[in-house]
Structure 1
Amino acid sequence: MNRHRAEEISESPIMANVTYNGTPIYIQHVDDQNETARVFPLDDPQNEFVVQVDNLVEH
Structure 2
Amino acid sequence: MNLMRAKDIKEDPNMRNVIYKDEYVYIEDIDDENQKATIHYVKRSETNFEVDVQELKEEE
Interval containing the TM-score (normalised by the shorter chain): over 0.9
Q: Secondary structure of 1:13's match?
A: coil
Q: Secondary structure of 2:46's match?
A: coil
For structure 1, the residue ranges without an aligned partner over 5 or more in a row are none
Whole-Å separation in 2 of the counterparts to 1:24 and 1:51 = 14
**TM-score computed with the length of structure 1 as normaliser:** 0.97
**TM-score computed with the length of structure 2 as normaliser:** 0.96
In structure 1, the residue matched to 2:52 is 52
In structure 2, the residue matched to 1:16 is 16
Q: Deviations over 1:15-52 (max 9, x none)?
A: 10000011100001000000000000001111110000
Q: Which amino acid aligns with 1:7?
A: K
Number of residue-to-residue matches in the alignment: 59
TM superposition outliers: structure 1 runs of 4+ over 4 Å = none
The alignment status of 1:35 with 2:35, answered yes or no, reads yes
Identical aligned residues as a percent: 37
RMSD, matched Cα: 0.5
